Amino acid sequence: MDSQLQRVMKNLELNNMKAYYAEDKAAVCKTVREMLFGGAVITAGGSVSLKESGVWDIISSPEYKFYDRLKPGISEEERLEAFRAAIGCDFFFCSSNAVTENGELVNVDGSANRISSIVFGPKKVVMIVGVNKIVRDVDEGLLRIKRTAAPKNCIRLDKDTPCRTTGRCASLEKSECPSMTDGCRRTERICADYLVCARQCEKDRINVIICGEKLGY
């Protein structure tokens, strides 16, 4: 583990978040299995990291009560039920757009269902984060969102936004240090609500598993 990673882990703990290091995807899956219990009620944000790590396969197994908002053929009512189930569920799984050396979690959402669950509702939040998402500070985290995370998610989700075709946030054409409101004005914009999790009041509600391999974007 390099010194930057050690700083991140130490500062997450100082911020009352439980930090785990898993060398590879298999180790991530092992840590997740050890956290869960049979019949646990689980919800999740849409996340490439969860899919790539194999965690999605674990949480969607019949051993748990998983509300799968990405289930093929899901009705709008079932999808809304999955969002509502986050309130009071045992575990909410997602990734983080960035994790800073100070142990802050930086995230942006279009409809805020993920960031709202990170801050309130689920009894435990479990984040699966590849080393590629570690940044120096919040500003670098916001830039990471504009340069990498948001454009790639717009491509994945086929959003009608300029970054889906250019691969870069429109705000970067104006400045290399855009504000949070800069960027496109499209209806399908996904950079609407920004969340920074700093020191938490409830110790170890948020669990961050940092994987030594790259995951998601």
The smaller minimum CB distance to ligand SF4, of residues 31 and 161, is found at: 161
Report the distance separating Cα 169 and Cα 166, nearest Å.
Answer: 8
- Contacts with ligand SF4 by CB under 6 A: the residue count is 15
The smaller minimum CB distance to ligand SF4, of residues 65 and 147, is found at: 147
What residues from 125 to 154 belong to the interface with ligand SF4 (CB under 6 A)? 146, 150-151, 154
- Cβ–Cβ < 8 Å for 117, 45: yes
Own/partner contacts of 35-41, CB < 8 Å, gap of 24 or more, are 35/91, 35/124, 35/126, 35/207, 36/63, 36/64, 36/91, 37/90, 38/63, 38/64, 39/63, 39/64, 39/65, 40/64, 40/65, 40/90, 40/91, 41/65, 41/67, 41/85, 41/88, 41/89, 41/90, 41/91
Tokens of 48: 């490439």
CA nearest neighbour of 135 among 148, 120, 116, 122: 148
Nearest approach, Cβ of residue 18 and ligand SF4 (Å): 31
The smaller minimum CB distance to ligand SF4, of residues 90 and 182, is found at: 182
The smaller minimum CB distance to ligand SF4, of residues 86 and 172, is found at: 172
The smaller minimum CB distance to ligand SF4, of residues 122 and 162, is found at: 162
Tokens of 158: 């086929």
Nearest approach, Cβ of residue 197 and ligand SF4 (Å): 21
Q: What x-and-dash track marks residues 157-196 binding ligand SF4 by CB under 6 A?
A: ----xxx-----xxx-----------xx----xxx-----
Nearest approach, Cβ of residue 161 and ligand SF4 (Å): 4
Nearest approach, Cβ of residue 156 and ligand SF4 (Å): 12
Q: Which residues bind ligand SF4 (CB under 6 A)?
A: 146, 150-151, 154, 161-163, 169-171, 183-184, 189-191
